[in-house]
Amino acid sequence: MSRKRTQVAIIGAGPSGLLLGQLLHRAGIDAVIIERQSARYVSERIRAGVLEQTTTDLLIEAGVGDRMRREGLVHDGFSLCFSGARHRIDLRELTGGKLVTVYGQTEVTRDLMAARSAAGLETVYEAQAVNIADFEADRPRVEYSKDGVTHIIDCDFIAGCDGYHGVCRASVPSRSITTFERVYPFGWLGVLVDQPPVSHELIYANHERGFALCSMRSNTRSRYYVQCAADEQIDKWTDDAFWDELRMRLDPQAAEALKTGASIEKSIAPLRSFVAEPMRFGRLFLAGDAAHIVPPTGAKGLNLAFSDVRFLSRALIEWFTERSAAGIDHYSQTCLKRVWKASRFSWWFTSLMHRFPDEGGIKQKLQLAELEYLVGSRAASTTMAENYVGLPFDR
C-alpha cells in the first residue's frame, strides 16, 4: 500500500478535472488527478464543440488557449431551418458584439492534457476501485488501486469531476442530496466526416421527420446529427441511410450542397436534463457533468462545466491563499444559479426543435408558430442570442 498527501484530489481527467488542475497549478496549489480510463481513451472521446466567450477567456487565462486561437472558428451567427427555409440569428448584432468559437471538446481536452504533461503534473490513469471517504469531516481521502497496489491520498479537498456516472455524487448520502431529472424520448445519432461543412455556420433544423444539426470541427471536418429513437440501434444506420435522412430534414439549398463521405465516427447519445443540489458536501465539491447534464441542443455542457470550474478554482485559491471560506461557502449557490438558467435554455431549445411523437401534430404546429415568431421578433431573437452566447457571470 502507498499513502501520500495533496492539497486537492481531483476525481476525473475530463475537461472539468483537467481545467481545474491547470488553474490550481498556475496558482501554486498541488492537485492530483485520478482517472479510471486510459489517457488514450480520454483523448479520443468525441463531444460537442461550441465555446462561449467566457470559456475561451478562461482557457486563455489557464494558458492553454494558443491552438484554440489559431484553429478555432469564430462564429457570429447560426441558422434555424424550418418549413423548408433557413433564418439566420445574428449573434454579433443581437448581443452587441458577442461571438462563439467552434473548437471541438476533444481538442480542448488534448490541449489541457498536453499542458498538464508538460508541467510534469501527476495524473493517475487506469485507476481502479476509486473511492472517496471522510469528505464530510475535515480530513478527506481518496482510495484507489492500480497494478495490484492500493493507494491512499490524504487531501484538504476533493473535486468530483467524474461525470454523470462517477463515484463522487454516488458517495453522497441520499439524505444530503436532491436530484432533478428529465429523460427525453429520443436520442442524437451523430456522424463525423472528413468533408467541408455544408455551411460556414451551424444549422439547427426542425422538421416533421425530426431534428437535425449541421456543425463542424474545422473547414475540412464536419459533424452532423439527426434525431433518432431513444432505443435506436446504431448498426441499423448505414452511412447512406444517414445522409439520405439528413438531406430530407434540411432546406433544399443545404441538401444540395451537402458533401457526404465515409463516417470516421458514428454514435448515438441519449438526451437528458439533470441537476443535483447542492454541489458541495463538506470537503467534496461536484463540478461539471458530475453535478448536471444538459441536452446538447444549446451546446451548454462544456461551457457550464467550465463555469463551475471557474468558480471552484477561485474559491479554492481564496481558501489556500487567504484562509477565507467565503468562496467555498457560496460555491454551490453561485453555480446553481447559472446551472438552472443554462438548463432552462437547453430544455427550451430542445423542446422547440425536436419531434415529440407522443404529443401529436399540435406540438409541431406550436413549435412552428414559435419559430415564426422568434425569427420575426427582435426581442425573441435577442433572447435566443444572449442565451446562446452565454449569460454574463453576474446575471
| Catalytic positions | 75, 204, 296, 300, 388
Site string for ligand APR, 263-302 (x = CB under 6 A): -------------------------xx-----------xx
**Among ligand PHB, ligand APR, none, partner that 42 touches (CB below 5 to 8 angstroms by kind):** ligand APR
Beta-bridged to residue 32, according to DSSP, are: 9
Least distance to ligand APR, CB of residue 12, Å: 3
- Give Cα separations from 377 to 86, 137, 344, 372 (angstroms): 16, 53, 21, 9
Q: Which does 132 bind (CB under 5 to 8 A by kind): ligand PHB, ligand APR, none?
A: none
Q: Whose Cβ is closer to ligand PHB: residue 160's or residue 210's?
A: 210
Which of 323, 394, 385 is CA-nearest to residue 99? 385
Regarding 109 and contact with ligand PHB (CB under 6 A), the answer is: no
Determine the straight-line distance between the first and last CA of the chain, rounded to whole angstroms.
Answer: 48
Give the C-alpha separation, 80 to 203, whole Å: 6
Answer yes or no whether residue 294 interacts with ligand PHB by CB under 6 A.
no
Nearer to ligand APR, 195 or 340 (CB): 340
| Region of 193 on the Ramachandran plot (φ > 0 left; ψ -120 to 50 alpha; else beta) | beta
CB-nearer residue toward ligand APR: 40 or 165? 165
Q: How far apart are CA 160 and CA 280, in angstroms?
A: 10
Based on the shown chain and the rule CB under 6 A, indicate whether residue 206 belongs to the binding site for ligand PHB.
no
Cβ-based nearer residue to ligand APR, 14 or 21 = 14
Q: How many Å apart are CA 213 and CA 188, to the nearest integer? A: 10
CB-CB contact of 12 with 161 (8 Å): yes
Cβ atoms of 243 and 260 within 8 Å: the answer is yes
Regarding 199 and contact with ligand PHB (CB under 6 A), the answer is no
Binding segment (CB under 6 A) for ligand PHB, from list 239-247, 283-291, 296-304, 334-342: 296-304
Strands (DSSP E) along 282-361, which ranges?
Answer: 284-286, 292-293
**Using CB distances below 5 to 8 A depending on partner kind, what does residue 37 bind out of ligand PHB, ligand APR, none?**
ligand APR
The pattern of x and - marking residues 109 through 138 that bind ligand APR according to CB under 6 A reads ------------------x--x--------
Contacts of 127 (CB under 8 A, 6+ apart): 34, 35, 36, 144, 145, 146, 151
Q: Given the C-alpha cell 430534414, which residue does it identify?
A: 249
Residues 11-50, interacting with ligand PHB (CB under 6 A): 48-50
Is the CB of 274 or the CB of 348 nearer to ligand APR? 274
Angle of CA points 76, 79, 84, to nearest 5°:
160
CA distance 358 to 139: 51
Binding residues (CB under 6 A) for ligand PHB: these are 48-50, 202, 213, 215, 223, 296-299
Binding residues (CB under 6 A) for ligand APR: these are 11-17, 34-37, 42, 47-48, 105, 127, 130, 161-163, 165-167, 288-289, 301-302, 305
